[in-house]
Amino acid sequence: MQRLDHGRAMSENTSIFDPLLATPTRGQAVVSPSVRAALLSALFDNAWPLFLSGISSAFVAGVACFRLQQQWTALWLIADVAVLAARLSIVRTYLARSRTGVVHPAPWAARYAPLGLIACLLLGLGTMACFLSSDKELAALAIMVAAGILGGIASRNAALPRLAIVQIFLGTAPIAIGAVLAPESGSWILVPPLIAYNAAMVSVVRRHYTGLVALMTAEQRHAELAARFDAALAYMPHGLCTVDEAGKVVIANRRTAELFGATVEMLKLNVPLPEFIGHVGIAQFGETLHKRLIERFAVWLGDERSPMDVELRDGRQLELTRNPVPDGSAIIIIEDVTQRRLTEAKILHLARHDSLTGLPNRRELRDRLEQFLRASEGGNGQSIAMMYLDLDGFKQVNDRLGHCAGDEVLETVAARLTQTLRPGELVARLGGDEFAIVADHTTLPAAVALAQRVIRDIAMPYHLSSGQAVSIGTSVGIAIAANDDSVDRLIRRADEALYSAKQAGRGTYRVANTHAR
């Protein structure tokens, strides 16, 4: 952090070379700070071309020193080597520090720029001196090497167009001056090609710079989109897997591992989906269910298009949905549906049960009664008894003490009826103070005995939360199902028997005539 702050502080200091290190806007592309940093760091991307160009310039200086045997050639050679060593040192130091932390390239570019300008000026002056000498082979070598080095600068340093253009002019201007000052009368013909060369190099620099800015801007946008996608993928509430056309998992997010109680490190990519799920979910399924789980997923991927449910050891339920993609791949969405399943079960329960007492309601009673009647159609001697109950005196309790007291009485009645019944017998609340009991595998004497127990238990006092005690009774109508009874007819017969019990004085039971229509 200290190094980063230091780099920022250095980058904020102004320098006389700042205009040369500018990164101007080209067309519609806006040079953002991150793109500018990338353009500046391009100076240090590859030191090999820098080394080769420096060696080439030093080679020309060495040849000049050997052939001309003049003092300036030795000074040129020494200066060339010293500047090359300094430039390489800056590049190596920047690259070394950038590997261990975040280093802003601006201050390092400001250090490098003057050495780059000096190197080009030395190359231009040396080439001019070679041109002015009487050694034409040396002059041709110097011009050829200078043209190659300056052409490389136009490409390598195009990320900083002003610096590259100034370097090119510093290298060619002395050569043009030398052509004008040369004693030979025809030497000036070198000037027009140099002007054309400069124009061409400027065009190359600008074209390369425009392409670099466009490319880096596009890369930055793609990186931002990728970062947003990665964030969305990592923090989405559902698990997500991408399966390629070969059936192998190529992408899986963090939530996938979490849903199976695993870690991100346990995600095994580039394997078939069954093996992927088996590996990440082995903690939830163990070795015993591992193979069975793989077989289930293989069948699901082969034929089924409907969602697949997986129940985990901790009771959670996962739902996997496959969404095909036109290219043959597929997106697998993994969702924790535990709460949804509980809500659905609760809604289904409420649709078939009384909200106050928790007993089955009229709809559930009819469905269960219809099942009992279908099971008895085989003539296997099974008997079904339908009992219709109506509470005696409940209305007076409800009117005198209020609905809260009435609800307490109804809840206690439901509890007493549930405790009175045997396994296989069903009690339901039909609404208000009406209840029903269905007994399977029974006889008329057993049904009568059950009705008597119900009348006795319901008649016991009710101690309310308010401290008061009330008493009510019940009347029961009994109907034994005949072979041709429907659900509606059996209920109607039991209701008619209840009416008879009410007429008889309440607190008693009556049995419906089996042959009554």
CB 412 within 8 A of CB 418: no
CA distance 254 to 239: 7
Question: CA 169: distance to chain centroid?
Answer: 53
Tens-digit pLDDT profile for residues 118-128: 999 999 999 99
pLDDT tens-digit readout, 319-330 = 988 888 888 888
The residue type of 373 is L
pLDDT bin (cut points 50, 70, 90) of residue 77 is very high
280 vs 441, which has greater pLDDT? 441
Q: What is the pLDDT of residue 357?
A: 93
What pLDDT score does 379 carry? 55
Structure tokens at 12: 């904020």
Q: How far apart are alpha carbons 360 and 283 in whole angstroms?
A: 40
Average pLDDT over residues 162-176: 94
- In this prediction, residue 2 carries a pLDDT of 41
Q: The tokens of 152 are what?
A: 């490389």
378 compared with 400, residue with greater pLDDT = 400
CA separation for the pair 15, 138 (Å, rounded): 38
509-511 and 473-480 strand pairing: parallel
Domains of the chain: 2-228 (no CATH), 239-340 (3.30.450), 353-511 (3.30.70.270)
Mean of per-residue pLDDT scores for the chain:
87
The residue ranges of DSSP E strands in 173-285, in sequence order, are 239-243, 249-252
DSSP letters, 38-87, are HHHHGGGS-HHHHHHHHHHHHHHHHHHHHHH--HHHHHHHHHHHHHHHHH
CA 168, 172, 174, 180 dihedral sign is negative
Distance separating alpha carbons of residues 373 and 386, to the nearest angstrom: 11
Two tokens, residue 189: 């013909």
What would the two tokens of residue 394 be? 């409940």
Distance CA 37, CA 227 (A): 19
Average pLDDT over every residue of 22-47? 84
Q: What is the pLDDT of residues 3-27, one digit of tens each?
A: 444 444 444 456 677 889 998 887 6
The reported pLDDT for the residue numbered 177 is 92
pLDDT tens track for 81-99: 999 999 999 999 999 998 8
Mean pLDDT over 498-516 rounds to: 85
pLDDT band at 1 (very low <50, low <70, confident <90, very high): very low
Nearest to 477 by CA among 443, 506, 516, 517: 506
CB 124 within 8 A of CB 172: yes
Distance CA 176, CA 162 (A): 21
User: Amino acid identity of 435?
Assistant: F
Q: Which pair of structure tokens corresponds to residue 444?
A: 């008329």
Q: Would the pLDDT of 464 be above 70? A: yes
> Which helix (H) or strand (E) segment is 445 a member of?
helix 444-458
Inform me whether the pLDDT recorded for 46 exceeds 80.
yes
Compute CA distances 97 → 93, 105, 267, 287, whole Å: 6, 11, 34, 50
* Mean pLDDT value across residues 471-488: 90
Residue 117 is which amino acid? L
